[in-house]
Amino acid sequence: MEKKADIKDFLKQTEKIVKDLGTKAGKLAKAVEKDATIGTKAGMIKVEQLALENDRNKLLNQLGIKAYSLIKSKKISHQSMKAIYDKIAKIDAQIRIKKGMITKLKKQMGSAQGAAAKPAKSSKKSAPKKK
């Protein structure tokens, strides 16, 4: 009789452990899914940010060429460069917004990872350098 009771206790403990593992696996899966979604959003925003920075660099180049030409001819006029400057200022503001959005998304990823088990660090050693 005692063996049957021991077996029942063992099965109950095993069932509890399996349920706990299932719950933890579910939480981990949700955290991974959330990180993937956030990572995708951050990637899309990063592409937009890089496109804005490219536009900004093109405008800065235009501004530099114009300023160079005006300085060379001793006809520099701040008003003639104002339109390009205004465009650059608008793009700078958009870049700051995109960077802030990415920072916020990265913080969300970090908090989601904190809720799940953290992966072990890799202990790969680099190959010795050849002489």
DSSP string, 87-130: HHHHHHHHHHHHHHHHHHHHHHHHHHHHHSPPPPPP---PPPPP
Q: Is the pTM of the predicted complex or chain greater than 0.85?
A: no
Q: What is the pLDDT of residue 5?
A: 79
Q: What is the pLDDT of residue 73?
A: 83
Sites in the chain below the pLDDT cut of 50: 131
